[in-house]
Amino acid sequence: MKATWHGATLAESNETIVVEGNHYFPADSLRREYFRASDEHSHCPWKGEASYYDIAVNGATNAGAAWYYPEPKEAAANIKGRVAFWKGVKVE
């Protein structure tokens, strides 16, 4: 699987985990130069507290376009250390 936005490959892996239709990529598959920490957070009743990254490519920013669960609840332990995408990021 490959995640792309604005022509840049953000992550690529053969070992994604699909949860609720989202591919979670291993953290070591990310091209970190495109990721910026965000102050955004959200809560999922069964996965826990999510943190976000902004994606920055060639001067364009996609705020909160990637998320991860730093300390997922037990039911979602399999996505610890993984990142998923939305907001126009293509995953194919």
Region of 48 on the Ramachandran plot (φ > 0 left; ψ -120 to 50 alpha; else beta): left
How sure is the predictor about 31, in pLDDT bands with cuts at 50, 70 and 90? very high
For 50, residues 6+ apart whose C-beta sits below 8 A from its C-beta are 41, 42, 43, 44, 67, 68, 69
Under 8 Å between Cβ of 24 and 84:
yes
CA distance 72 to 59: 32
CATH 3.30.1330.40 applies to domain 2-91: no
Entry pTM? 0.96
Query: In which band, very low, low, confident or very high, does the pLDDT at 58 lie, cut at 50, 70 and 90?
Result: very high
Q: How confident is the model at residue 60 (pLDDT cuts 50, 70, 90)?
A: very high
Q: Please give the helix or strand (H or E) that residue 17 lies within, else none.
A: strand 17-19
Domain ranges of the chain: 2-91
Looking at residue 52, its pLDDT comes to 98
